[in-house]
Structure 1
Amino acid sequence: MPQATGTRRVTAADIARSLGISRATVGFVLNDTPGQTISEATRNRVLDEAKRLGYRPHTAARALASGRTRIVLLVLPDWPLDFNLRRNIEEASLALDEAGYALITYTPHPTGQARPLWESLQPDVVMAMAPWAPGQVESIRASGVTRIIPDPDAPIEAEWREEGPTLQVQHLAALGHRRIAFAGSADPRIADLVALRRRLTTEAAATLGVELAGTADIELTDASAQVMLTEWRSDGITAIVAYNDDVAAALVGAAHRTGIAVPGDLSVIGHDDTPLASVLEPRLSTIRVDTVGLGRFLAQLALSAVEGRPEPTVGPDLRVALVERASTGPR
């Protein structure tokens, strides 16, 4: 029989007609149906003919039959896609792909009118990296999705605690700095994250006997950084804990342009250990976060929900480390 041509999808029936065998036999082979007594020779004939004719499985039909789409939908908060977030997503995507699942990300916007992707895709799991917004859980359940992470019905666990700000303050305290400042990002999309790191910096400073003598959120511009540097230097501040490496880099650049020596006059420590931290001069002391571990942790959570695997028992929240470079020095 000639090969099926044109735009029509090659079906199992085409393969059966080409080989002169039953459609059921072809279906059993293509679906690897257990409990069937099909000879190895027949199995190989079916697979070879399927390849010759260009047969491709009908994924939508398979999903309907199995009850799975093999899609994991990750709902992202409306944050900038910074280095760490991109790495988290990349690692989660790789781990899920290795298990045969596709990771799709979706960012709902407060003013958006688009139909939620969980309605269009019917994913096996819907995950979020931040607390669920009002109405989202109800919308997800109404679309027929039952696997939701974090579980909205589970008891609220203790707040996840970042260790990075504590390590930043400990490092500066060990160098002899006693009057420090916290520089956050003025990006309104991450105001909650900035507030968390500011609070943790305040707590760490109080524990270590260091005075947090200044705190402000800056724009990533030379003018904004220079204003705060002038004010903090006049207040006798000798070191700055930055929300992330971008903020730290803005401060270091402004310091150079205003004649403030880093680290001779002022120490600056960033957070995240982005590529920028290792190429800026002076190279940034910073906090390295286990982005690979967090991405893999997210993937394991999804797989535990859809495949009944044991949940990962240890999260990556404590896997941070100080990276000491040239932007911090002794008081």
Structure 2
Amino acid sequence: MADSTTKRVTSADVARLAGVSRATVSYVLNDTPRQTISAGTRDRVREAAARLGYSPSAAARTLRTGRSDVVLCLLPDWPIGPEVGSNLGHLSAALARHGLTLVVHPGNREDRPMAELWKAITPAAVIAYTGFSDAETAAMRSAGVTLVLALPRRDRGRELAVPQELVGRRQAEHLAQAGHTTLGYAYPDDPRVRFFAEPRLAGVRAACAARRLPTPVGLTVPLDPSAASDAVRRWQATGVTGICAYNDEVALAVLAGARKAGVVVPSDLAVIGVDDIVPARLADPPLTTVTTDQAVVGAHLAATVVAAMQGRAAPTLPAADIVRVVPRESA
């Protein structure tokens, strides 16, 4: 059990161990320019800090520099799957290259009011996937907090381009180019992912409309072989020969449902997913999917945040170049 009386290590402790002043510790650990401190002294201070496990106070650093280095990312109540995890990892690394630290808060407004979160952390910027009222936005602006909205709308704040419609179009285009003229869409049964599912379905519909194909037959597919097999039979009854699944997990459920229904993939039914998770490559047959270069997306989000903090225009995400089909045997 942790000792609640353990005293926090301070710069005074580091200074005492290194045999220098607290000012020297501050200069060294903060890389303060124009200080004539020998390499030996710098090494001694860093070794003392490492030995004691000392880390400068973020609050003190904010007071000293007048700016926080924290970027708070507010996620809605989403399942944190491989793709979201990859995006956050790349975003964190990209922000670090700008001297910023990413803090992620998953959940929703019922867990804790958003205002309490940003006021407690006092970040330099907030990345939000949910809307804020005009009063909340004004309060953040007054506090010097930059708000970056990652929303599919352009009427307020700065927006992060998330090309989910393009993902759906890529799926439908791949199936159409393979000769499939009647498509289905496997919709997830988790309402928390509608933020992604709706624009992907819209992209599939747009691609079908552009080619004068019938409107895709959308069915909800749980991650259950029996329920998925029912969906497969319904699709076959309406002449569907190609399925665009919300993501790879739902696509794997469709594959399982097809096996249970005695439907052969891809000769009887082609299936394409999204995300390129590892199980997709191990499926039988291996799953054709759409992948997005999350390293580029993470760097773009970071550059957008930095631009917003500096009052500059946001960069353009090269969406068409980073969303691509990974062809395998299922479609």
1:89 match: secondary structure: helix
Taking structure 2 as the reference length, the TM-score comes to 0.81
Partner of 2:3: none
User: What per-residue deviation string (whole Å, max 9, x for no partner) do you get for residues 205-255 of structure 1?
Assistant: 121132235211221112221121111111221111111111111011111
Measured in 1, the distance between the counterparts of 2:143 and 2:80 equals 29
Measured in 2, the distance between the counterparts of 1:173 and 1:26 equals 65
Pick aligned residue for 1:227 from 227, 230, 233: 230
Greater shift, 240-249 or 212-221, is seen at 212-221
Aligned pair count reads 317
Q: CA RMSD for the aligned pairs?
A: 3.4
Partner of 1:315: 317
2:117 aligned partner, one-letter code: L
Measured in 1, the distance between the counterparts of 2:14 and 2:273 equals 62
Partner of 1:3: none
Pick aligned residue for 2:214 from 188, 211, 216: 211
Partner of 1:174: 177
Partner of 2:295: 292
Matched, 1:141 2:140: yes
Q: Cα gap change, 1:209/1:138 in structure 2, threshold over 3 Å: closer, same or farther?
A: closer
- In the TM superposition, 1:1-331 aligns within 5 A as 7=7, 9-12=9-12, 15=15, 33-34=32-33, 38=36, 40-41=37-38, 44-45=40-41, 48=44, 51-52=47-48, 56=54, 58-59=56-57, 60-113=59-112, 116-128=116-128, 130-134=129-133, 137-138=136-137, 141=140, 144-150=143-149, 153-154=156-157, 162-212=165-215, 214-306=217-309, 308=310, 313-318=315-320, 319-328=322-331
Measured in 2, the distance between the counterparts of 1:205 and 1:75 equals 34
Structure 2: gaps (5+ residues): 1-5
CA apart distance, 1:51: 4.0
Q: Cα gap change, 1:233/1:64 in structure 2, threshold over 3 Å: closer, same or farther?
A: same
CA apart distance, 1:145: 4.3
Q: Cα gap change, 1:170/1:63 in structure 2, threshold over 3 Å: closer, same or farther?
A: same
User: What per-residue deviation string (whole Å, max 9, x for no partner) do you get for residues 266-302 of structure 1?
Assistant: 1111122221211111011111111121112112222
1:123 match: secondary structure: coil
Measured in 1, the distance between the counterparts of 2:216 and 2:165 equals 22
Q: Cα gap change, 1:144/1:257 in structure 2, threshold over 3 Å: closer, same or farther?
A: same
Taking structure 1 as the reference length, the TM-score comes to 0.81
Q: 1:178–1:209: 8 Å Cα contact kept in structure 2?
A: no
CA apart distance, 1:86: 0.9
Q: 2:15–2:21: 8 Å Cα contact kept in structure 1?
A: no
Measured in 2, the distance between the counterparts of 1:298 and 1:157 equals 7
